[in-house]
Amino acid sequence: EVQLVESGGGLVQPGGSLRLSCAASGFTFSSFEMNWVRQAPGKGLEWVSYIANRGSSIYYADSVRGRFTISRDNAKNSLYLQMNSLRAEDTAVYYCARRYCSSTACTHDYWGQGTLVTVSS
Amino acid sequence: QSALTQPPSASGSPGQSVTISCTGTRSDVGGYNYVSWYQQHPGKAPKLMIYEVSKRPSGVPDRFSGSKSGNTASLTVSGLQAEDEADYYCSSYTGSNILGVFGGGTKLTVL
């Protein structure tokens, strides 16, 4: 059974840092690209970051570029998101999601349960 | 402002059919078959319901179907059931951004 379990969320002051983790199981983690997606309270979904299966390609949303760093450790079946210089507008539930690609298209077929990040003084 | 446009709400009675639209441009919805639909119940993670415009993952009831015409994709829920009440989000790949774009979400109410 595919499982994605996020951890590391919590309350942090503006300007602070936090590191999120996503533990993967039930599939060959190193074969899949991964994403972080967030959802502010009462709002819609927002793509945050992408990483290729071996980490060779990385992309960020404009809203987090220069402050967030995505990484992965395939030996530990884990995905990470280092978040620095946090702002109130970064307050959200953060989800990790597996990117599945067929021969014709890609989608995100499995999502974790999310971890809440609250940025407040 | 979301890149893809969805109606904020939709509703129907049990047993009826409801269609939710997702409008983009030739650069996203109209240009690729990467449209996906996600269902999200309150406090829960999104769940993939439709991918590649019209394909259903294993375990998703065939009451859920997807289609696309031009720059607009649609999700149809037939034979509405109480458990279908949730938020629905569309997503598409864009040629300029591997992250893709989401719609703003549609709250489906089963009357």
CB contact under 8 A, B101 and A112: no
Helix (H) or strand (E) holding B103: none
Is the pLDDT confidence value at B24 over 70?
yes
Average pLDDT for A18-37: 97
Average pLDDT for A9-18: 97
Residue B2 banded pLDDT, cuts 50, 70, 90: low
Strand stretches in chain A, DSSP E: 3-7, 10-12, 18-25, 33-39, 45-51, 58-60, 68-73, 78-83, 92-101, 106-111, 115-119
Cα distance between residue A26 and residue A2, in whole Å = 4
Cα distance between residue A98 and residue A2, in whole Å = 10
Residues 6+ apart with CB under 8 A from A49: A35, A36, A58, A59, A60, A61, A64, A68, A70, A81, B99
Q: Give residue A107's identity as a one-letter amino acid code.
A: T
Q: Locate tokens 């999700």: which residue? A: B75
Instruction: Tell me the pLDDT tens digit for each residue of A41-75.
Output: 999 999 999 999 999 999 999 999 999 999 999 99
Mean pLDDT for chain B overall: 94
**Which pLDDT score, from 0 to 100, does residue A56 have?**
93
Taking the Cβ of residue A106 and every Cβ of chain B, the question of whether any pair is shorter than 8 Å is answered with yes
Cα distance between residue A78 and residue A89, in whole Å = 26
CB contact under 8 A, A59 and B98: yes
Cα distance between residue B30 and residue B92, in whole Å = 9
Is the pLDDT confidence value at B17 over 90?
yes
**Which pLDDT score, from 0 to 100, does residue B3 have?**
83
Q: Which residues of A touch B46 (CB under 8 A)?
A: 37, 45, 95, 97, 111
Taking the Cβ of residue B88 and every Cβ of chain A, the question of whether any pair is shorter than 8 Å is answered with no
Instruction: Tell me the pLDDT tens digit for each residue of A99-112.
Output: 998 888 889 999 99
- Mutation test of the interface with chain B: which of A45, A49, A109, choosing the one with the most B Cβ atoms within 10 A? A45
Average pLDDT for B40-67: 96
Q: How many helices (H) and strands (E) does chain B have?
A: 0, 9
**Which pLDDT score, from 0 to 100, does residue B98 have?**
79
Instruction: Tell me the pLDDT tens digit for each residue of B77-90.
Output: 999 999 999 999 99
Is the pLDDT confidence value at B1 over 60?
no
Tokens of B89: 């989000």
B104 conformational bin, left if phi > 0, alpha if psi -120 to 50, beta if neither: alpha
B59 conformational bin, left if phi > 0, alpha if psi -120 to 50, beta if neither: left
Residue B65 banded pLDDT, cuts 50, 70, 90: very high
Residues 6+ apart with CB under 8 A from A115: A6, A7, A8, A9, A20, A93, A94
Cα distance between residue B50 and residue B35, in whole Å = 8
Cα distance between residue A62 and residue A56, in whole Å = 20
